[in-house]
Structure 1
Amino acid sequence: MPSRRDLLASLLAAPAALTLNRTALAQGSPLQAALAAVSDGQAISRDALLAFAREVSRNPYQAPRADIPRSLQQLSLDQYRQIRMKPDQRVWAGENRGFTLDLLPAGNVFTTPVTIRTVDGGIIRDKRFQADQYDYGQTAPLPTEIQVPYTGFRAYAGLSSGTPADEALVFQGASLFRALARGQVYGVMARGLTLNVAEAQGEEFPSFRSFWIERPGPGGTSLVVHALLDSDSVTGLYRFSLRPGDSTVCDVEVTLFPRNDLQHVGIAPMTANYLFAPNDRANVDDVRGGVHDTQGLQIWNGNGEWIWRPVTNPETLQVSGFVDQNPRGFGLLQRDRRFEAFNDLDARFERRPSVWIEPLGDWGQGQVQLVEIPVNDEFNRNILAYWRPRTPLARGGEHMFTYRMHWCWAPPERPPSAMVVATRTGRAQGGGRRRRFLVDFTAEDFGDREKSAGLRANLTNQRGRVGNIDGRLVPDLKLYRVAFDLDPEAANQVELRLVLEKDGQPQSETWLYRWTP
C-alpha cells in the first residue's frame, strides 16, 4: 500500500491517478477515505469536502508533479492561447445550462496540474483530457492517445447574447482567477490567498489544486465552484458562486486549515498593473494619457468613513496599512471610463473592471494593506490589496471568511458625499523637489453655489510643508478643485490627507496620498 506521503503527492494530480488508487482508497488511511468521498461517482457533500481539506492539512505538503510534453512547454504565450476547446466540445455545450466550460491543458508557463471534476445530477464526475476536443490554431495537434494534465478552466456565459459565448470567469495559475461584467475586458485579477507579502522570508504562493464544478440547472444564471487550495503553510476549501451580468457578483466562502501559524495572511487579495497616470508621470514619454488597470484603492471602513487612495508606481517598494475593525468594503477601482483618458485602442483600459470586496459578517480587527511595487513596463502586476487580520491564524485551527466580490463598472455602494474624480501632480514653482497638486471632487450639489457655500479644504501633512492652498468651486462642471504646493523639505516620504468640510463636518470622501521621490 502506498505511504501517506506518496498518496498526498498523487491525490491532486491527474484524475487517472485517482482512479488507479480506488482499491487502496477504500481500505487505507483517513486521507484515503476522505479522498474517496469526493471522487468520481460520489455524491457532492460540503461536509465531505471539508473533511477532505482538513485531512490534507494534517499531512505534509507535497508540491504537484506532472509529465508535460516538451512541445507544450516550449509554446509561446500566443501559441498556447490558440489551444481552445471546440465550442461544440465544451462541457455542457448544447445543454441550455447558461454556462459552458473550456478545460485548459498544460502549456507555456502553465505547468501546475489541477484536477477538474464536474458535479452532474449531484454526482461527482472526473474530467479527462481528450486531444480531439481541441482546436490548436497554428500549433500541430496533439496525438489522440496523449494525456495532458489540466491547469485550469474558463467559463463562458451569455453576457452579450442568450448563448454562453462570452468569457465570464477564468481560474489558472497558482490561486489566480478573474471575472468580467458585460462589456468589460480583463484587468484586475484576484487571488485565493496571499502569504508573507513583502516579508524578509519571501512570499509563499498557494495554489488551487482541485476543482468541483456544479452543473447549473436548465437556463442557469449562477455557477458554483468548489476548490481546494494548498501550500507549505495552509490548506483551504473555497466555494465560489458566480452570477454574471451588468455587474458580475461572486460570493466566496473560505475555510482555512493552517499547517503553521500564519502571521501575515491576506484575505480577498486582488492584484493589478499600474504604470502611470496624471498623478504619476515622472519620466514618462508616452502618447497615452494613462496605463493602468486601477486608479486607486477605495475603503469604506468600519467607522463609516470613505477613503480614496490613488496608487502610484514608486521608485521603491511601498507598503501601506489602513487599520480598521469590521470593514464594510474595499477594492481596486478604475474610476475614469473615458477612452480619451487612455487613448489605447488595443488595451482598452477604460473597460477594465473595478473589483469591490464586501465582507459578509464580522472580520474583526486588522488592516487593509496596499502594496505598490516599482515597475518599468505595463505587463507586471505591481499593485496588491487585501485584508490582513490583526491576530495570526493559529496552526491546527479552522478559520472562516465570507465575502462578496463585485466585478463591476462602479461599486454597488458609493460615498454619500463628494467623490474624488482626478488627482494630478506636476512640478511646482521654486524648483527642487516641490510639487503642485490638483485634486478634483465632484457632487451634484456642486452645481449650486448656494448649496455649496461654506466649503473649505482641510489639508494636513505628516512631514514637509504645504502652501498656496486654493479651493475653488466650478458649478458648470459640478466640481470643487483643491490646488496646493508640497515642499517635502528633507523628507523622503510625506503622507497627505484632504477632506472637504462645511461647518466642521466632512462633505467628501477622504483623499489620502503618499508622496515619495
Structure 2
Amino acid sequence: MLRGTVLTSAALCFCLPLGLQAADFSFEQVITKARERAESAYQPPKEVPRFLQELSFDDYQGIRFKPENSLWHESDSAFQVMPVPSGLFYRNPVQVHVIDEQGVEPLTFAKNQFTYPNTEVERLVPADLGYAGFKLTFPLKDGEQNQFLVFAGASYYRAVGSDNNFGISGRGLAIDTGMPGGEEFPDFVEFWLERPAPDATSMTFYGLLDSPSMSGAYRFVATPGEQTVLAVESVLFPRQDVELLGVAPLTSMFYYGENSIRPRGEWRPEVHDSDGLLVHDGGTGEWLWRPLQNPGTLRMDYFSVQNLRGFGLLQRDTDFRSYQDPEAIYDGRPSSWVETDGSWGPGKVVLVQIPTPNETNDNIVAFWQPNDPVQRGKPLKQRYRVLFGDPGIAANPLGSARETFVGDGMRVGGGSEEGALRMIVDFAGGPLDALSDDAAVLGEVTMQNDGELIEQFVQYLPSLKRWRLSMLVRPAEGESLALRAHLRDAEQTLSETWQYDIPVGSDLLATPE
C-alpha cells in the first residue's frame, strides 16, 4: 500500500515529514505558490529518460500499479488512490503529496509497487521515476473499488459516472487552441490529496498548474456517483498576455455520425465519444444544440452568450445499435457538462473541430473564452462544476434534438430543386412527450447567409415517439449553409434551438473514400 494504518516492508517509501501539519495547509498556500511562479521566469518540467518516452503502447500499458498497494487500501476510507507511472505520452513527472491528520508528506516512487511487461523494462526503470498523475477509486458498484477519475498528462483529467466507461476528457486550462501559432499545453506540476473521513462521499485535492503564459492554483472536490461531479475553483496568474484563453475546456472525439458520410470499409454506423455541443444562455434562456462534424479543414465556431449558465459535449445517442462496437462501447461514453458558479461576465463558448482520419485522435474541443483581455499581472478567478454521466446531466427542460440527417434534396420530395439539401432533425423529450400525436407542432426555421428555405414541415413518428422537422434548403452561391430551428406550438417554445452549418465546398453527396 502507499500509505494506510499499517506500513509493511513492501510499502511505498515516503520522504521524511515536512513538518507541516494538516491544519496548517490551505488553498491559500497553493495560490501563493502559483503567484510566485508567475512572477518568475518559466522553468520547463523535467522529462523522463528517452527510452521511457519511446516505449511501445503495449510495453507502457504493461507497467501496472498493483491495486493492493493503493493509498488507504488497508484503512477505513471508501476512497483509494492509484498512482499513474510516467512514460510514453506522460513525459513529465509530477509531485504528489498526501494531507492527513499526521501532516503533509510527499509520495516517492517505489518500483516494487508495479508489475512490468518484461525484465528489461523493469531493469531500466529508474528508482526515482516519479508519477505522471493518479487515479481515484470508489465503490460505485457491488462494493468493489471502481476507477472514476484520472488526472494524468498536461492538465488533462477524465471521469465517469457509475454507468459509463471512460471517454471525454476535461482540462485545467487551454491556451491558444486552434491558433496559427500553435497551442500551449499547461501542466499540473504538483498535487495535494486530502484524506477523506471514513464516511465521506467526496474527496478534496489541490493542483498547481504552470506554463510559459500562465500559472494557476486549483481546488477540486470530487463526488462520485451515477453522475460524478468535480467542483472546481481556480485562481490564474498570467505571466504574459494571452490571445485565446480557454476556461473549463472539454476534449472529445467525433469521427463520423448519422449526419456524416461513412468512410469506405467502415461497417460501424457511427464512431464518436460525443455527438453535440449544448450551450445554455441564462440571459436569453436559450438552450442551443450544435451537432458535431469531422470537418475537411480546421473549424472554429464562436457562440456569444450574455450570461453563461452551462455548456457541454454530450453523447446523446446511447443506443448500441448506432455503433455496433462491443469493444469501444461508444454507447457507454459519458456526457460532460460545465455548470458555472456565479457570473462569468460576457464571453463566448468556442467550439474547435479538427479533421481526423480515424478514431484515435481527439479532434473536438469546447471551452469558455471571456471577452475581457487576459493580461499579464491581472489574476482571473472562476468557480464551476464539471459533471460526467448520462446525457440528462444538463437538466435541459425542453425537447432535445436526438438525431440529424443530411442528404440530397432531389432524392426525396425535392423535385427539381437542384443544389438543395434535405435536413431532418428528430426531437423528443420535455414538453414534446406530453403532446397528443395530432398536436399542432410548428417548426421555426431561420436561414442565414442568404440561404433559401424551400419548404419545412413537422410530423410525429409513432414508432420512435419523436417529432420530425424536415427542411428543404439551398445555400446561396458561394456561401456556407447556416440555419437555426426549433419547435413550438401556439403557446410556447417546445424544444431547444438546433443550429447547423455546412461550409462552402463540403460535398456530403460524394462517394466515401
Q: What TM-score do you get using the length of structure 1 for normalisation?
A: 0.88
User: Post-superposition shift, 1:184?
Assistant: 1.2
Q: What is the CA–CA distance in structure 2 between the aligned matches of 1:280 and 1:144, rounded to whole Å?
A: 45
Tell me, yes or no, if the aligned pair for 2:159 and 2:388 is still in contact at 8 Å.
yes
1:54 aligns with 2:35: yes
Q: Which amino acid aligns with 1:359?
A: T
Match in the other structure for 1:279: 259
Aligned length: 483
Match in the other structure for 1:237: 217
Identical pairs, percent: 35
Match in the other structure for 1:349: 330
Q: What is the CA–CA distance in structure 2 between the aligned matches of 1:387 and 1:313, rounded to whole Å?
A: 21
Q: What is the CA–CA distance in structure 2 between the aligned matches of 1:46 and 1:114, rounded to whole Å?
A: 18
User: Post-superposition shift, 1:417?
Assistant: 2.6
SS of the counterpart of 1:80? helix
Match of residue 488, structure 1, among 475, 478, 488: 475
Q: C-alpha deviations, 1:166-194, integer Å up to 9, x for none?
A: 11111111111111111211111011101
Match of residue 253, structure 1, among 223, 226, 233: 233
Match in the other structure for 1:117: 97
Match in the other structure for 1:185: 165
User: Post-superposition shift, 1:142?
Assistant: 3.9
Tell me, yes or no, if the aligned pair for 2:22 and 2:101 is still in contact at 8 Å.
no
Q: Which amino acid aligns with 2:439?
A: A
Match of residue 289, structure 2, among 308, 319, 323: 308
Tell me, yes or no, if the aligned pair for 2:336 and 2:393 is still in contact at 8 Å.
no
Shift in CA distance, 154/142, structure 1 to aligned 2, threshold 3 Å = farther
Match in the other structure for 1:321: 302
Tell me, yes or no, if the aligned pair for 1:210 and 1:229 is still in contact at 8 Å.
yes
User: Post-superposition shift, 1:74?
Assistant: 3.0
Tell me, yes or no, if the aligned pair for 1:447 and 1:475 is still in contact at 8 Å.
no
Tell me, yes or no, if the aligned pair for 1:228 and 1:236 is still in contact at 8 Å.
yes
1:262 aligns with 2:248: no
Q: What is the CA–CA distance in structure 2 between the aligned matches of 1:139 and 1:426, rounded to whole Å?
A: 56
Q: C-alpha deviations, 1:228-271, integer Å up to 9, x for none?
A: 00001110001111011111011000000111123311111001
Q: What is the CA–CA distance in structure 2 between the aligned matches of 1:60 and 1:147, rounded to whole Å?
A: 26
Tell me, yes or no, if the aligned pair for 2:437 and 2:462 is still in contact at 8 Å.
no
Match in the other structure for 2:71: 91
1:443 aligns with 2:429: yes
User: Post-superposition shift, 1:504?
Assistant: 6.8
Tell me, yes or no, if the aligned pair for 2:398 and 2:430 is still in contact at 8 Å.
no
Shift in CA distance, 366/92, structure 1 to aligned 2, threshold 3 Å = same
Q: Which amino acid aligns with 1:498?
A: A
User: Post-superposition shift, 1:415?
Assistant: 2.8
Q: What is the CA–CA distance in structure 2 between the aligned matches of 1:101 and 1:331, rounded to whole Å?
A: 28
1:172 aligns with 2:162: no
SS of the counterpart of 2:112? helix
Tell me, yes or no, if the aligned pair for 1:42 and 1:124 is still in contact at 8 Å.
no
| 1:353-502 equivalence runs, <5 A | 353-429=334-410, 433-443=419-429, 446=432, 450=436, 453-463=439-449, 464-475=451-462, 477-502=464-489
SS of the counterpart of 1:477? coil
Tell me, yes or no, if the aligned pair for 1:437 and 1:485 is still in contact at 8 Å.
yes
User: Post-superposition shift, 1:413?
Assistant: 4.0
Q: What is the CA–CA distance in structure 2 between the aligned matches of 1:301 and 1:114, rounded to whole Å?
A: 37
Q: What is the CA–CA distance in structure 2 between the aligned matches of 1:290 and 1:144, rounded to whole Å?
A: 40
Shift in CA distance, 262/81, structure 1 to aligned 2, threshold 3 Å = same
Tell me, yes or no, if the aligned pair for 2:262 and 2:269 is still in contact at 8 Å.
no
Match in the other structure for 1:204: 184
CA RMSD of aligned residues (A): 2.4
User: Post-superposition shift, 1:97?
Assistant: 1.0
Tell me, yes or no, if the aligned pair for 1:40 and 1:126 is still in contact at 8 Å.
no
Q: What is the CA–CA distance in structure 2 between the aligned matches of 1:414 and 1:46, rounded to whole Å?
A: 31
Q: What TM-score do you get using the length of structure 2 for normalisation?
A: 0.88
Q: Which runs of 5+ in 2 are unaligned?
A: 1-12, 411-415, 507-513
Tell me, yes or no, if the aligned pair for 1:495 and 1:515 is still in contact at 8 Å.
yes
Match in the other structure for 1:3: none
Q: Which amino acid aligns with 1:438?
A: I
Q: What is the CA–CA distance in structure 1 between the aligned matches of 2:21 and 2:94, rounded to whole Å?
A: 15
User: Post-superposition shift, 1:444?
Assistant: 6.3
Q: C-alpha deviations, 1:461-507, integer Å up to 9, x for none?
A: 11332323221123453321111223224234221100112227422
Q: What is the CA–CA distance in structure 2 between the aligned matches of 1:482 and 1:312, rounded to whole Å?
A: 20
Q: What is the CA–CA distance in structure 2 between the aligned matches of 1:382 and 1:431, rounded to whole Å?
A: 35
| 1:60-75 equivalence runs, <5 A | 60-66=41-47, 68-75=48-55
Shift in CA distance, 419/145, structure 1 to aligned 2, threshold 3 Å = closer
Tell me, yes or no, if the aligned pair for 1:446 and 1:474 is still in contact at 8 Å.
no
Q: C-alpha deviations, 1:107-141, integer Å up to 9, x for none?
A: 11211121111112162111111111111244643
Tell me, yes or no, if the aligned pair for 1:449 and 1:475 is still in contact at 8 Å.
no
Match in the other structure for 2:26: 45
1:506 aligns with 2:493: yes
Tell me, yes or no, if the aligned pair for 1:156 and 1:169 is still in contact at 8 Å.
yes
Match of residue 154, structure 1, among 114, 117, 135: 135
Shift in CA distance, 280/217, structure 1 to aligned 2, threshold 3 Å = same
Tell me, yes or no, if the aligned pair for 1:130 and 1:144 is still in contact at 8 Å.
no
Tell me, yes or no, if the aligned pair for 1:367 and 1:387 is still in contact at 8 Å.
yes
Q: Which amino acid aligns with 2:477?
A: A
Q: Which amino acid aligns with 2:425?
A: V
Shift in CA distance, 291/476, structure 1 to aligned 2, threshold 3 Å = closer
Q: What is the CA–CA distance in structure 2 between the aligned matches of 1:248 and 1:233, rounded to whole Å?
A: 31
Tell me, yes or no, if the aligned pair for 2:318 and 2:332 is still in contact at 8 Å.
yes
Tell me, yes or no, if the aligned pair for 1:118 and 1:124 is still in contact at 8 Å.
yes
Tell me, yes or no, if the aligned pair for 1:447 and 1:476 is still in contact at 8 Å.
no
Q: Which amino acid aligns with 2:502?
A: W
Q: What is the CA–CA distance in structure 2 between the aligned matches of 1:411 and 1:396, rounded to whole Å?
A: 40
Tell me, yes or no, if the aligned pair for 1:446 and 1:478 is still in contact at 8 Å.
no
User: Post-superposition shift, 1:300?
Assistant: 1.1
Tell me, yes or no, if the aligned pair for 1:192 and 1:268 is still in contact at 8 Å.
yes
SS of the counterpart of 1:260? coil
Q: What is the CA–CA distance in structure 2 between the aligned matches of 1:178 and 1:77, rounded to whole Å?
A: 19
SS of the counterpart of 2:33? helix
Q: What is the CA–CA distance in structure 1 between the aligned matches of 2:221 and 2:34, rounded to whole Å?
A: 19
SS of the counterpart of 1:79? helix
More displaced, 339-348 or 134-143? Answer: 134-143
